[in-house]
Each structure stands twice: as structure tokens, then as C-alpha cells.
Chain A
Amino acid sequence: MSKQNVKSNSELFSMTYGALVVQLLDDFESDDEVNSQLDKIGYNIGLRIVDDFLSKNPSVGKCFDMKEIAAVLALKMYMGFTATVTDWSPAADEFSLVFDGNPLAEFVELPQEKHGNLQYSQALCGAIRGALEMVHFEVKGTDNEIRVRLIKKLDDHLPATED
């Protein structure tokens, strides 16, 4: 029947992701292009993984507030790490997710002189953006201490126009 949550070694995922990043660095000329490709890959993963998350966490209902979104994002279901929510903006539409260590960059040392602009874990930001878009929120995330900012609430009853 349906697959249970398969636990896998996080090192396998880290190294697979590392291989992906290295391949993208070979394929593209500049770090900015690699960043946008990682974001796009993460976005496509996020569009699909949100249904998996919701089907396995029936208690997660519709969010009506950014604080609820932050609480849900802090869950450690996929990465095995919990995130801390800090640095709320005064308008309460922006917050930071601080991970206990970057789960994707466990064995990674970036060569700063050659790839100073590379956002290594940009796929994570893309995944958050894609997942939240499927539940009618538009957000923006950036790497290194993921900062999530609400852009707008998409209309519930109409398909998202950005598709």
C-alpha cells in the first residue's frame, strides 16, 4: 500500500545534492545562473512535496497567520533538523529560519575565491517557496539563514495565476 516514511541516511542526500551542485557549476557559466537553477529545482520539488507533507500531517490545517506558517515550517519531517524562528519584522510578515547546522552542506567547504556568489542551499528556499505557493501564499526566501517574507496571499478560489 502507500509507502511509509522511509528513513534514509542524510549523508546520501547530502552527497547527492553536492553532486547536483557540482554538475550545475560545470554546466553553467556563472554562479547566478546556478543559483536560479537550484531555486527552480527546489521550487518544482516544493510543488509536489507539499501534498506529501499535508497527507501525512492531517492536523496541519489552513494557515491564516504568518506565525502559523512559521510553526509549520519548523517541523523537522524531511531534513531531520529543527529550525528556530527568529527576527520577526514589526509588521509580522517576515521571519528567519535558523537551522542547527545546514543539513545540505554537512561536508561542504565553498571555495570562496571561485564561487563567491554561490548560494549553496538555494534549493531549500525554492522548495519552501513552491510548497507555500501550492497552499496560496507567495513568499521569498534567500540562502544562509533563510529569510521568509510574505509577498501576498493568493486567491483561494482561483488557480494560482503564476502557474
Chain B
Amino acid sequence: MTVYYTFIINRAGGLIYEYDCCPRAPDVEISFNYPIDLKLEMIDNRPTVVFGEKNGVQVGYVVIECNGCPLAPGGRIDSADDDSLAKTKSTKLLDYLADEANYPVLLKFWRPTLSTNEKIILSSMFHSFYAISAQLSPVPNSGGIQVLESTTYRLQCFQALTGNKFLAVGDPTCPPLDQLLHKLHELYSDYALKNPFYSLDMPIRCDLFDQAVQQLVERFEKSGVLLV
């Protein structure tokens, strides 16, 4: 009964609203002896697990701390060198872990979440997939993607006649999200379009709309049915 994300995409494929209530996995801290039994590589400038599992850390997890110190951007370790007073030495984490003299070492892992830019990119991709799926249809006058299911989530999409898309991503065991999407469309017309200072097709930054969406999702998660 969990709703992870709610998105509104405008007619041009731009993300104009996102409500993220994805549960956060806790960070995992593990002490390692040489040699480290998880394989790490730099992906998107972050030291990422590419092979191996341990204590809940899986492929895709990112190292964020080493010996209690947050990593600098680019996966580097800043440390004061003992033999010169003010000099700061910057070492790549992967080089640091290759040296046996640095062990044992304490690493903290974080399961990455979608950044705002990633959500914008994914919304544009979905917009294209939606149009392609309508064109690929063997049946004439087909609509686009309405339900997209995987083992870990179900995505449902409702496109209003005006071209705006309302998406919700929920648990596979969720009841159908249609009611949630239609209610979201109502809230959109009530709190966004009737706000005279909201420009069409621009990101929605209205506190009243945020509150209304939050209440809607909470009610849906509680009962699964939305009555007037």
C-alpha cells in the first residue's frame, strides 16, 4: 500500500511537479580488512559497488564516508599529512583502499536516490516512450502507456485530454492507482490552474497544492479507496 512517487509531466515532456515519498534505506557502516571483499568502481564520479553483497550493501550502493570522514566530491579523501604542517593531501578512495597499510578501514554506504535532474531526464524519456508506444500499436487510435509493471513497482499513467500526464509509482501490491491519478487531476485544476500566479506548463510551486497532494497520498495509502 505504498506510493513511492507522484509526477506531473506537461505537454512537452517537462516535469512540472514531483512528490517523492520513497522510503529511505538506512546507511550501512562496515569495517573491512585487507583485501576488501566488495568490488568498487567510479561511476558518475562516485565510488559505487559493482560486485559483491555484504550486510545489506548491494550493487549500486555508494561510499559516502571513510573512517568517519565524509568523502570529498569525486570520491577523494582529504587528510592532513603528518610530516608537513598545513599541507592537505587528497587521495582517491580507490587508491587508498589498494594500500594494505590503511587497513582496517571503516566505510559507510548509501543507497542512491533520484536527484531532481535525474527525475527531469526520466520524465522526458517517459514522454517519448509514451508517444512511441502509441505509434507502435497494432490497433488504430491507441493510447499510450497506462500501466508499466516490474517486480518491485508498478507505474500508472493517466494522460488528460489537455496533454498533461499524471504518473504514480507504487508498490506492486497497491490497488490500482487510477483513482489517485484522477484525484490528482482534480487537485491540479483546483490548486494550480485556479492560482492566478501560476503560469501554464511551468513547475508548480504552490504550498496549498503540496499540502493537498500529501493529504491525498496519505489517505490513499491508508484505505486504498478515495471517496468524496
Contacts and interface: CB of A to CB of B under 8 A. Distances in A.
Contacts of B11: 159-160
B183 interface: yes
Interface string B137-181: 000000000000000000000001111100000000000000000
B215 A1 contact: yes
Nearest to B143: A62
Contact of B228 (A4, A52, A54): A4
A48 to B, nearest CB: 4
A159 B164 CA distance: 11
* Chain A contact residues: helix, strand, loop or mixed: loop
Given A48-B193, A48-B194, A157-B131, A2 B163 contact: no
* Chain B contact residues: helix, strand, loop or mixed: helix
Given A50-B162, A55-B186, A1 B200 contact: no
Interface in B176-223: 182-183, 185-190, 193-194, 200-201, 212, 215-216, 219
A51 interface: yes
A51 B187 contact: no
A8 B26 CA distance: 51
Contacts of A24: none
A62 B161 contact: yes
Contacts of B12: 159
Interface of A: 1-4, 47-52, 54-56, 58, 60-62, 134-135, 157, 159-160, 163
Interface of B: 11-12, 131, 134, 160-164, 182-183, 185-190, 193-194, 200-201, 212, 215-216, 219, 228
